[in-house]
Chains A and B, each alone.
Chain A
Amino acid sequence: MSFRHKNLLGIEPLHPEEIRTILDLSDRYVDLNRGTQKHSDVLSGLTQINMFFENSTRTQASFELAGKRLGADVMNMAMQASSIKKGETLIDTALTLNAMHPDLLVVRHPHSGAVNLLAEKVNCAVLNAGDGRHEHPTQALLDALTIRRAKGRIHRLTIAICGDIAHSRVARSNILLLGKMENRVRVIGPPTLMPAGMADFGVEIFDDMAEGLRDADVVMMLRLQRERMDGGFIPSQREYYHRFGLDAQKLAHARDDAIVMHPGPMNRGVEIDGTIADDINRSVIQEQVEMGVAVRMAAMDLLARNLRAVPEGVMV
């Protein structure tokens, strides 16, 4: 199946078949990455620019590695330190970069919708690496790949997403993706960290971990930003950990074979107990990182095919 999109800005516009296409191709890249010859040249000759307007180590490294393994020329730009400080607008920055003829632009920005705005102004393919509280599509795709490989399917599962739903783009993209693939999605968190209108997303809402985790196949923990712990949204870190931190006792409510996920970086002892994060029988957190590189390779490969108008039916 062909991939009809010019950009990967979010999960929202994707069709379930397109999600499967990305996941299928990602599986092949997992095999490539596990071999000794970790190199392909499908992006050879193309230029990939990573523009991060917000701090990131993991996502940026993952995109960089993905591009390099596919043979692209990769450039990283830490935008907090550059022209933005000099008062240049986002659109001017985009136009400046566009003039350098990149083929793939990977963008992270602290404001929702900023990547969409930028994508309107450039000719190349744009990948959203996280915009504000809006979407983080490659994270949701790598989570889906991890789940599919662990559970053998990515439909009819009960998946609990726990923590700061309100400020999380990871939660949004995952809710959209898992909903499209016909899973039962639960969100668990204190009401202050639950966005308005959540019930309209087709998810079940809980503010009690024991209830929310009952018979879950997948437990997805979210990172709680330190700046939210100051009494504005939750009274204290220790009360949060007591009520919403994932420990063995709470996890016991989920299915015996339930897997535990976390997008990283983790706050051990805040949202997740260290021993659970390290339990190789439950935690798939390291696999998530591995899948991340493969998914990003697949996404960039598919978008680059459109750039070069590779005829349908040609695979890697």
Chain B
Amino acid sequence: MSVFCRNARLIDPEAATETIGNLLIEKGKIAAVGDIAEPSGARVFECDGKCLAPGIVDIGVKICEPGERHKESFRSAGLAAAAGGVTTMVTRPDTLPAIDTPEVLEFVTRRAREASPVRIKPMAALTKGRDGHEMVEIGFLLDAGAVAFTDGDSVTVDTRVLSRAMTYARGLGALIIAHPQDPGLSRGAAVTSGKFASLKGLPAVSPMAERMALDRDIALVEMTGVRYHADQITTARALPALERAKRNGNDVTAGVSIHHLTLNELDVGDYRTFFKVKPPLRSEEDRKALVEAVASGLIDVVCSMHTPQDEESKRLPFEEAASGAVGLETLLPAAMRLYHAEAIGLPALWRALSLNPARRLGLESGRLTQGAPADLVLFDPDAPFILDRFKLRSKSGNTPFDGARMQGRVLATFVGGEQVYRRR
């Protein structure tokens, strides 16, 4: 059955345009888009002039299956994603146990198929047990559906191990995703060093730890020729290194979490652990530089870095509390802060939310063009609301935006032409 989405503000990240028009969905794909007439027999979906954009492709979602299902399951994450306009979750392998064999990966794909209303593309660990000693079966895992290889926030210290894994991955065309953070400098750190950290007496890491690790990784990329993505670049100091690596023709991309684009270190305030993320929140100067880097395209991808944590692991003194924040449902409304601040336009924002991540992983989605999968989000960029963490669909409510005034709401989400969410 076909669906005719009428009178939408079409956000096309590929053409970098926003136009008023219609969109026709047929057989799960976008059949036509733009100034098209209503065909007979199609169900009409009235968009009321609201924004229709490709669904978000979120790289780095932690779903706590296997191991910590009380924090998040495929079902709860899937519902949260649908309500947040995320149509593809690219899941992290830092589960218990780590997703480092084809057998565990198959469990993930089976659970995902059974339980999630949105698409799931799993990542696999780069080394066995994510402990940085032996590479995983990259070939088998690719065959089993892994879209990228990453040890998450566990940095591979041994450069020989990493260079071999990169060389092997290059041979298979696999994408490696790393967390650039010097393990020595960042050991035990809870915040970014500076006046705030010193005032609060918290163990801190210099922003330089990120640049050092990125420089190291880029050198290894030059050496091995692997396809490389930095999961989060969060400091101004690391940006010139990223720019240089791209200019020199390396296959390097980078992401940033929405939290680092919309919050800064001072938001931690009186030891609020929901603001403890990894890497820690940075200075306002860093935040501004990152927003500019997303707008210019130097940073390719914006993600939620969705990391569910239960109350117990957050209700602790700041140093002891777990890191991470949920973000599937708040990614889009938080990203609207950048739009309303006139820092980034909607097409450029969707380039980072949908188009670039899809391209990087070789997915067909992320585009608003004929023939692309009908993974779509309809949203009202202006609708105001106050976020209540107890109303989130995620099993864990550890969001730094609890009680925050937000502007921008998802109205409907389509995956493969099927409506998976509709705001009532």
Chain B contact residues: helix, strand, loop or mixed = loop
A109 within 8 Å of B (CB atoms): yes
Name the segment of A28-36, A127-135, A271-279 touching the other chain.
Answer: A127-135
**Contact string, A179-222, partner B, CB cutoff 8 A, digits 1/0?**
00000000000000001111011000000000000000000000
Interface residues in B183-232 by Cβ distance below 8 A to A read 193-202, 204, 206
Which A residues lie within 8 Å of B206 (CB)? Answer: 196
- Decide if B198 touches A196 in the complex (CB within 8 Å): yes
- Whether B320 sits at the interface, judged by CB under 8 Å, is yes
Question: Is residue A89 contacting chain B, with contact meaning CB distance below 8 A?
Answer: yes
Residue pair A109, B317 in contact (C-beta under 8 Å): yes
Q: Does B405 contact A (CB under 8 A)?
A: no
Does B271 sit at the interface, judged by CB under 8 A?
Answer: yes
State A258–B100 Cα separation when bound (angstroms): 65
C-alpha gap A132/B319 in the complex (Å): 10
Residues on B with beta carbons closer than 8 Å to the beta carbon of A196 = 193-195, 197-198, 204, 206
Partner of A201, one of B195, B200, B316, B319: B195
Does B113 make an interface contact (CB < 8 A)?
no
Pair count A-B, CB < 8 A: 72
Residues of B with C-beta under 8 A to A131: 201
Contact of A112 among B195, B271, B312, B316 (CB under 8 A): B271
Asked whether, in the complex, the Cβ of A197 is within 8 Å of the Cβ of B271, the reply is no
| Residue A117, interface by CB 8 Å | yes
Q: How far is the CA of A116 from the CA of B273 in the complex (A)?
A: 12
Task: Assess whether A172 is interfacial by the CB under 8 Å rule.
Answer: yes
User: In the complex the two chains form, is A116's CB within 8 Å of B204's CB?
Assistant: no
Least Cβ–Cβ distance between B23 and chain A, in angstroms:
50
Q: Is the CB of A117 within 8 A of B195?
A: no
Report the minimal beta-carbon distance from B279 to chain A, rounded to whole angstroms: 16
A196-B189 Cα distance, complex, nearest whole Å: 13
Residue in contact with B317 in the complex, picked from A112, A169, A195, CB distance below 8 Å: A112
Taken together as a complex, chains A and B put the C-alpha atoms of A159 and B202 apart, in Å, by 25
Q: In the complex, which residue of chain A has the Cβ closest to the Cβ of B196?
A: A197
Asked if A74 is at the interface (CB within 8 A of a chain B CB), the reply is no
Which residues of chain A are near B316, meaning CB under 8 Å?
89-90, 117
Measured between C-beta atoms, what is the minimum distance from A118 to chain B in Å?
Answer: 9
Partner of A117, one of B194, B197, B200, B271: B271
**B160 within 8 Å of A (CB atoms):** no
Q: For A112, list chain B residues within 8 Å (CB).
A: 200-202, 271, 317-319
Contact check, A113 vs B198: say whether CB atoms are below 8 A apart: no
Q: Does B158 contact A (CB under 8 A)?
A: no
Across the interface, do A111 and B200 meet the contact criterion of CB distance under 8 Å?
Answer: no
Number of interface residues of A (CB under 8 A): 24
Q: Contact check, B194 vs A197: say whether CB atoms are below 8 A apart.
A: yes
Beta-carbon contact of A89 and B199 below 8 Å: no
Q: Tell me if A111 and B195 are in contact (CB < 8 A).
A: no
Asked if B340 CB lies within 8 Å of chain A CBs, one says no
Query: Do A116 and B199 have beta carbons less than 8 Å apart?
Result: no
Question: Are A197 and B201 interface neighbours, CB within 8 A?
Answer: no
Interface status of B27 (Cβ within 8 A of chain A): no
- Minimum CB–CB distance from A210 to chain B (whole Å) comes to 25
B315 at the interface (CB under 8 A from A): yes
Q: Which residues on the B side are within 8 Å of A116 (C-beta)?
A: 270-271
**Residues on the B chain within 8 Å of A109, using CB:** 317
Enumerate chain B residues within 8 angstroms of A150, measured Cβ to Cβ.
none
CB B307 to nearest CB in A, in angstroms, measures 21
**Most chain A CB neighbours (cut-off 10 Å) among B194, B200, B319:** B200
| A91 interface hit (Cβ, 8 Å) | yes
User: Is A42 part of the binding interface, using a Cβ–Cβ cutoff of 8 Å?
Assistant: no
Q: Does A114 contact B (CB under 8 A)?
A: yes
Query: Which residues of B sit under 8 angstroms from A200, Cβ to Cβ?
Result: 194-195
A90 and B317 contacting across the interface, CB-CB below 8 Å: yes
A134 touches B315 (CB 8 A): no
How far apart are B217's CB and chain A's nearest CB, in angstroms?
25
B196 A132 Cβ-Cβ under 8 A: no
A114: which B residues are within 8 A, CB to CB?
Answer: 317
Over the window 87-127 of chain A, the binary record of Cβ atoms lying under 8 Å from chain B Cβ atoms (1 yes, 0 no) is: 00111000000000000000001011110110000000000
A81 to B313 Cα, complex, angstroms: 23
Residue of A nearest to B283 (CB): A197
Pick from B195, B201, B204, B320: contact of A169, CB below 8 A: B201
> B123 to chain A: closest CB distance in Å?
33
Residues of B within 8 A of A91 (CB): 315
Known: A112-B319, A169-B201, A197-B193. 11 other contacts (CB 8 A): A109-B317, A112-B202, A112-B318, A113-B201, A113-B270, A172-B199, A172-B201, A196-B195, A196-B198, A197-B196, A197-B199
Q: Which residues of B contact A (CB under 8 A)?
A: 193-202, 204, 206, 270-271, 312, 315-320
Task: State the 3 A-B residue pairs at the shortest beta-carbon distance, nearest first.
Answer: A113-B271, A133-B201, A197-B195
Residues of A within 8 A of B (CB): 12, 89-91, 109, 111-114, 116-117, 131-135, 169, 172, 195-198, 200-201
List 9 A-B residue pairs with CB atoms under 8 Å apart, sorted by A's residue number: A111-B317, A111-B318, A112-B271, A113-B317, A113-B318, A195-B197, A196-B198, A197-B194, A201-B199
